[in-house]
Amino acid sequence: MSFRLAAYGVCVEDGRVLLARYVPPSGEGTWWTLPGGKVEHAEDPYDAVIRELGEETGLTGVVESLLGVDSRVIPAHEAVRGVVHQNVGVFYAVRVTGGVIRPEANGETAESVWTPIEEIPALHRSVVVDVGVGLATERPANGHLPTVPVGGLIRH
């Protein structure tokens, strides 16, 4: 089994959320996700989310609160590397404080856009979008949502 700890920023302003268009190295399609990604060895997720926001979008921000945690096990037949994979995502409410939006330099984020929340259901997207927006809008006291199903326009 493989394992990944990731930190995601949920940036919401005026009913819009900041989304990043991910282009995988394989070139197999694109989809929308939240700014964020892998927490590096010995890095605090709190620091990782701000680093990832800057790397992927060109924007700066501050963490306002911890929204919650999502843990999911992806079966081998659905996982990118063909082995069972566990992804633990730490979701933070992040307020953008500056910068200029741009694509990721030499990276996998082609563009970032402010997207009205009501338009999300029509997008081809990562499950982390639904988890993050759900945590931000519902604010569950325990920081946990029921499992968001994958399928249709929603992928791991």
pLDDT digits (tens, 9 = 90+) for 16-48: 999 999 998 887 889 999 999 999 999 999 999
DSSP state letter for 35: S
Distance CA 82, CA 93 (A): 32
State which residues form the domain around 35.
2-155
Q: Are 52 and 37 in contact (CB under 8 A)?
A: yes
Q: What is the mean pLDDT of residues 35-64?
A: 98
* Predicted local confidence at residue 105, as pLDDT: 87
CA distance 53 to 59: 6
State the pTM of this model. Answer: 0.95
Question: For the chain, what is the total number of helices (H) and then of strands (E)?
Answer: 2, 10
CATH number at residue 134: 3.90.79.10
Q: What pLDDT is stored for residue 107 in this prediction?
A: 87
CA angle, residues 71, 74, 79, in degrees to nearest 5: 135
Of residues 79 and 53, the one with the higher pLDDT is 53
Contact 10, 35 (CB under 8 A): no
Span 45-67, average pLDDT: 98
Q: How many domains does the chain have?
A: 1
Residue 25: the pLDDT is 83
CA atoms of 20 and 33, how far apart (whole Å): 5
87, two tokens: 């992804």
Give the per-residue pLDDT at 106.
85
Mean of all residue pLDDT scores within the chain: 96
Q: For residues 59 and 29, which has the higher predicted lDDT (pLDDT)?
A: 59
